[in-house]
A and B are shown apart, each in its own frame.
Chain A
Amino acid sequence: MTDWSAFWLSIQVTLCGLAIAVAVGLPLAVLLALRRFPGRNLLEVLVTAPLVLPPTVLGYYVLVSVGRSSAIGRFWESLTGGPIVFSMTGCVLAATIAALPFVVKNSRSALEAVDPGLMEAAANLGAGFPRRLWTILLPLARRGIIGGCMLGFAKALGDFGVTLMVAGNIPGRTQTAPLAIYDHLLSGRDAQAQGLVLALTGLGILVLWLVNTWANPRPTDRRS
């Protein structure tokens, strides 16, 4: 019988991580899509680096940055009483790092695909930047943004390496579904692993199907 606690922990962690990735990533995507500023390329490289770096390398950097002896880690601990590493916070951080590149890259492409002439027209009609963003840019780019979120969700749900390095593999606390599958297999609990494998496979395929059929921009979203 599959123990679903790791699966539900994964869902919680992924949703929290995705929420943070959207809160951070969407403003970044708007910035990268609309503004030219010094260090723009560097920022883009930093945001998208998790796509190409080995998970262990990435995990190492995160451990060094937010570990208990780091400035951030100490600050966090003084604030909350608990460490970032080897806790659910660490899992959420790993999920955020996994989802962020997809949220930023897809949102940025979608925002850049919106006809700038429409933003000009909105400005001419008296709309300041926040209103233009809210009423024109984000609605027209919504499919790409939602697509990026879905891919980010799928990636974060399946994160293994960074989660293992930053949060460890503590059953009931930081053991997410991919870690649990690994654990079950090593311990010869194949049936338990299979349930989780099927659940993650189903979710992944569902997300891809949704992205392909619904979240891709339609031609009518461009200038008609």
Chain B
Amino acid sequence: MIRIDCQVRRGGFTLALSNQLGSRATGIFGPSGSGKSSLLLALTGLIPVEQLRLELDGEVLVDTSTGLIPPAHRRQLGMVFQDHRLFPHLSMRANLSYAKPSAQAPAMAEVVELLDIGDLLDHMPAQCSGGQRQRVALGRALLSAPRLLLLDEPLASLDRGLKRQILPYLRRIRNTWNLPMLMVSHDLGELLALTDSLLLLHQGRIAGQGDLATLAADPTTLELLHDCGLVLALPGTLNRRDEDGLAWIRLDGPGAAELACGDCPAAVGDRVDALLRPEDLVLARAPLVDALSLTNRLPGRIVQLTRSRNRCIVTVDCGASVPLLAEVAERAMRSLGLTVGDQILVLCKAQAVQMRSLRLQIS
């Protein structure tokens, strides 16, 4: 359990939040300038704070009100920066072993194996790709025996292919060491690959907290999510490929629902996330759809309707592990007469489903 009370003033910007995070991994999300990175820097002691209290599993690590203010190098909060910040004059091996050895740190060999960086150890950072550098930066942070791992947009400087390479490693770290993690990103899809526990920041304040369905159920947070690019990540397994080249993903959850995906680089049996945008989903009453060309037709039940501005987000339980969020216009809502509890079909093109493989890919 992480408890944070924090107040930071930087120029005209104020970050003020007080919060308790129940999950071991929390995704911090929000528009640019909402204070996401400032929060992590404040925790690490790299920027001055007006007030800060950080409690981790019952132990107070920092408390400015009682004078418990360890300097940055004594906080044991491992930070992975957006720009990796590897030391350019040191080999990857020297970068990894920069933090002094500690009994609490995982073994170097274990980290090297987990992150697949054995071949890079004798290279210099300049000789390696962005994804490789970011993996070494992750390893370096892990080897500093952090009490809490802070990830500041660790994927932002990488292109899409490289992001696919790093995300599975983040999940591996989460699963292997059960290390508390705070990950900042402006990309909701990235965060959802790591955790379903989100903290939404807006103008230096907490705008909402919880899983995506909870945040989408509140018109205010929904509006914010929408402005930042709302995307759904449905975990599942690549089940089969059909003769038309479509890849069918069996979604996790009791309904064993299947989604077709047009562009799918993974192999059958791989764990994948199906990424969907709410605006790409179409809702229909059952008798009307037989003549449509849309491939994906998931039956479900409306569990919530959230209105904001002139649109509405319809939360539909299709038997997947997370509910689907479909965006429909207010006018369409009225004409369909949608109400909570209705049975409905969620439709979308196979081409609108993006797929992210969570299988480890070695670059």
Contacts and interface: CB of A to CB of B under 8 A. Distances in A.
B60 interface: no
Return the 5 tightest CB-CB contacts between A and B, nearest first: A121-B85, A224-B126, A123-B72, A125-B99, A123-B73
Contact of B98 (A115, A117, A127): A127
B248 interface: no
Interface residues of B, number: 27
Contacts of B125: 224
Interface string B71-108: 11111111101010111110000000011100000000
Contacts of B85: 115, 117-118, 120-121, 223
Contacts of A221: 88-89
Contact of B144 (A115, A124, A223): A124
A126 B100 contact: yes
A210 interface: no
B79 A220 contact: no
B151 to A, nearest CB: 12
B73 A223 contact: no
Listed residue (B71, B88, B126, B140) with the most chain A CB atoms within 10 angstroms of its CB: B88
9 contacts: A125-B73, A125-B140, A126-B73, A126-B100, A127-B98, A128-B73, A136-B87, A220-B88, A224-B125
Contacts of A126: 73-74, 76, 99-100, 144
A141 B254 CA distance: 60
Contact size range, A:
20 to 34
A220 B86 CA distance: 12
B7 interface: no
A62 to B, nearest CB: 39
A122 interface: yes
B88 A123 contact: no
A189 interface: no
Contacts of A118: 85, 87-88
A40 interface: no
B77 A222 contact: no
A145 to B, nearest CB: 14
Given A118-B87, A223-B83, A223-B88, A124 B98 contact: no
A92 interface: no
Nearest to A142: B89
A125 B98 contact: yes
B332 interface: no
A27 interface: no
